[in-house]
Amino acid sequence: SAVISQKPSRDICQRGTSLTIQCQVDSQVTMMFWYRQQPGQSLTLIATANQGSEATYESGFVIDKFPISRPNLTFSTLTVSNMSPEDSSIYLCSVGTGGPNYGYTFGSGTRLTVV
């Protein structure tokens, strides 16, 4: 399965600032996703990162708050903009693979604390 490198692993940020999270995959993948896991909660899909086009956002998430880039098939970034304490969460990158090894692999996550 694909190996995902996600950076930073954790950060503490001031409210009102922005943080960009990077996700690097060791192979080309078509499907790439960003999830949020709020403290003590399950995972919620933020958006699907589409290579060469705008990301597809889930209900409740908007591009102005969570801009996403996907310049190629191995890399994506998620920016958390104008942060507030409510944005304190773990953000996870995920990739989907098809064929006989169909499934989803997750990065180790970015633990974000907004103060």
Give me the least distance between CB of 5 and another protein, in Å please: 11
The nearer residue to another protein, 43 or 73, going by C-beta atoms, is 43
For residue 27, the tally of other CB atoms under 10 A from its CB is 11
Q: Shortest Cβ distance from residue 82 to another protein (Å)? A: 26
The residue among 17 and 99 lying less far from another protein, judged by its C-beta, is 99
What residues line the site for another protein (CB under 8 A)? Answer: 1, 31, 33, 41-45, 48, 92, 94, 102-109, 111
Please, are residues 28 and 71 in contact by the beta-carbon 8 Å criterion?
no
Task: Read off the tokens for 113.
Answer: 């604390």
Shortest approach of another protein to residue 43 CB, angstroms? Answer: 5
